[in-house]
């Protein structure tokens, strides 16, 4: 049996049609998917994504399970429509040890939701959802927007980035770092928005 045959089987399944109708309703209900083995859950989520016009939030038991299904769904749907919403800490609830790469992933997911672009599948787990998120109003207060051709004092940029807890380095290798050379280069070619995290 080919992948297309299996997907066709799921497309015609009465449970899938019932869930799809409910999700397309104005007041959809949450669902708990149990008793599915292997990639059956991924195939069901894929068909739900194809048949609905809303974002799907999939909450897995833990980070490892979410990462497993992320890989599965990226192959079945595509990597642009499947997003991962991780926790921002290296160890749960240790606020002094944030993982900047995960902070960036969280920001991308929130930006996608806020922009109301094409719906997506968002995979996460309880610890990631339990973290507080900055409000849109507070975020807007923390944005420094620079435009092409705008003259600005380099010390002002330094102070603003330090205030936003960026680290000055010679070469930028991860989120949360800045290099003055990189800042000047970005300002000369395009508009730049610096967001604090």
User: pLDDT tens for residues 89-125?
Assistant: 766 555 566 777 788 888 888 888 777 677 789 999 9
Determine the pLDDT at residue 90: 64
Among left, alpha and beta (phi > 0; psi -120 to 50; other), residue 116 is left
Compute how many other C-beta atoms are within 10 angstroms of the C-beta atom of residue 55: 18
Residue appearing with tokens 């708990």: 32
- Rounded distance between C-alpha atoms, residue 168 and residue 193, angstroms: 17
Could you report the per-residue pLDDT of 176-189, keeping only the tens digit for each? 888 866 445 555 44
pLDDT surpasses 60 at 66? yes
What are the structural domains of the chain?
3-129 (3.40.50.300), 136-195 (no CATH)
Residue 154 has φ and ψ, to the nearest 5°, of: -65, -30
- Rounded distance between C-alpha atoms, residue 163 and residue 143, angstroms: 12
pLDDT surpasses 50 at 59? yes
Distances (CA, A) of 152 to 4, 45, 161, 192: 57, 49, 14, 13
For β-strands 167-168 and 56-59, DSSP reports them as unpaired
Distances (CA, A) of 67 to 3, 99, 142, 177, 185: 21, 16, 31, 26, 35
Query: Average pLDDT for residues 9-32, to the nearest whole number?
Result: 81
Could you report the per-residue pLDDT of 24-37, keeping only the tens digit for each? 887 877 888 888 88
Query: Average pLDDT for residues 122-132, to the nearest whole number?
Result: 90
Q: Could you tell me which residues come within 8 angstroms of residue 45 by beta carbon, excluding any fewer than 6 positions away?
A: 56, 58, 69, 73, 121
SS3 94: coil
pLDDT surpasses 60 at 191? no
Could you report the per-residue pLDDT of 144-165, keeping only the tens digit for each? 777 888 887 878 888 888 888 8
Instruction: Judge whether 56 and 28 are in contact, CB under 8 Å.
Output: no
Share of the chain above pLDDT 70, in %: 86
Share of the chain above pLDDT 90, in %: 14
Determine the pLDDT at residue 176: 80
Determine the pLDDT at residue 189: 44
């Amino acid at each position: 049996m080919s992948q297309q045959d299996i997907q066709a089987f799921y497309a015609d399944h009465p449970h899938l049609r019932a869930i799809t109708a409910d999700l397309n309703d104005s007041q959809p209900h949450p669902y708990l998917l149990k008793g599915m083995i292997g990639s059956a859950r991924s195939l069901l989520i894929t068909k739900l994504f194809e048949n609905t016009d809303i974002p799907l939030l999939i909450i897995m038991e833990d980070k490892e399970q979410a990462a497993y299904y992320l890989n599965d769904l990226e192959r079945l749907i595509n990597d642009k429509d499947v997003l991962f919403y991780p926790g921002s800490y290296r160890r749960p609830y240790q606020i002094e040890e944030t993982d900047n790469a995960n902070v960036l992933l969280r920001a991308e997911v929130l930006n996608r939701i806020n922009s109301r672009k094409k719906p997506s599948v968002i995979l996460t787990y309880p610890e990631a959802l339990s973290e507080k998120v900055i409000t849109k109003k507070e975020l807007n207060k923390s944005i420094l927007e620079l435009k092409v051709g705008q003259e600005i004092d380099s010390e002002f940029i330094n102070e603003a980035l330090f205030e936003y807890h960026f680290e000055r380095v010679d070469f930028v290798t991860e989120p949360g770092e800045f290099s003055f050379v990189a800042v000047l280069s970005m300002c000369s070619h395009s508009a730049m928005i610096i967001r604090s995290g």
